A and B are shown apart, each in its own frame.
Chain A
């Protein structure tokens, strides 16, 4: 079946580093996305991985291992505005649908 797992909630300190993991099981794979969603707002695109390895974009980096069905989003130099939910989504090549995880709520403390 299709399944994406993420931790429900994480807490980190301002200025620190946090890693949010995502594991997936899908019939096919054609890319993995990370989105950020602040409470009461629309999700916004953060990153895309289709090949194994690390993609860096400023304070945010995303890693993919297709053989392990695993990705993580790394946030550095955490700021209070990073408090949000982080959604992992996989494009399933068997039906071309985007399968979403339930999201990880990240709480940043001063």
Chain B
């Protein structure tokens, strides 16, 4: 079974541009969540999708948006990029937003975004 696939692996953008990141979950997984990871800080929750619906959203500005398609693939978009958006963006999937250990997340390798 293929793991969670994120593309691209690396991305360099300049301030003011926008970027779209892609995530393909493990086959059969319908829940996808996105996180931002920066050195010295914990993973910051961005949003979670299940069956094409956003179930939960973290405390990020409206420049950060996402969506999920009928095949469970998800995209994340950041508009008007700022230097502070430079980070590793991780996508994680799970079979469903269930209870207990069934919630364990399977992470992709991430997209390393650098904003210059």
**Contact, CB under 8 Å: A43 / B107:** yes
Q: Of residues 59 to 110 in A, which have CB atoms within 8 Å of B's CB atoms?
A: 87, 89, 91, 95-103
What mask results when residues 70 to 92 of chain B are scored 1 for a CB within 8 Å of chain A, else 0?
A: 00000000000000000000100
Q: A31 → chain B, closest Cβ, in Å? A: 6
Instruction: Determine if A50 is an interface residue (Cβ-Cβ < 8 Å).
Output: yes
Q: A55 → chain B, closest Cβ, in Å? A: 10
**Contact, CB under 8 Å: A44 / B43:** no
Instruction: Determine if B28 is an interface residue (Cβ-Cβ < 8 Å).
Output: no
**Among candidates A8, A41, A97, residue contacting B58 with C-beta atoms closer than 8 Å:** A97
**Contact, CB under 8 Å: A50 / B100:** yes
Of all chain B residues, the one with the shortest Cβ separation from A43 is B107
In angstroms, Cα B44 to Cα A48, docked, is 20
**Among candidates A87, A96, A99, residue contacting B56 with C-beta atoms closer than 8 Å:** A96
Q: Which residues of B contact A101 (CB under 8 A)?
A: 42
**Among candidates B4, B42, B110, residue contacting A103 with C-beta atoms closer than 8 Å:** B42
Q: A73 → chain B, closest Cβ, in Å? A: 15
Which of A8, A33, A43, A96 has most B Cβ within 10 Å?
A: A43
Given contacts A95-B56, A97-B56, contact A45 B104 (CB under 8 A): yes
Instruction: Determine if B109 is an interface residue (Cβ-Cβ < 8 Å).
Output: yes
Instruction: Determine if B105 is an interface residue (Cβ-Cβ < 8 Å).
Output: yes
Of all chain B residues, the one with the shortest Cβ separation from A98 is B45
CB-based closest 9 A-B pairs: A100-B42, A42-B107, A100-B43, A48-B101, A45-B104, A102-B42, A43-B107, A42-B109, A101-B42
Q: Assuming A45-B106, A48-B103, A102-B40, what are 13 further A-B pairs, CB within 8 angstroms?
A: A4-B42, A31-B100, A33-B104, A35-B105, A42-B108, A87-B42, A87-B43, A95-B56, A97-B58, A98-B45, A99-B45, A100-B45, A102-B41
Interface residues of B (CB under 8 A from A): 4, 33, 35, 40-45, 55-56, 58, 90, 97, 99-101, 103-110
Sample of 5 A–B contacts (CB below 8 Å): A43-B43, A44-B107, A48-B103, A97-B45, A98-B45
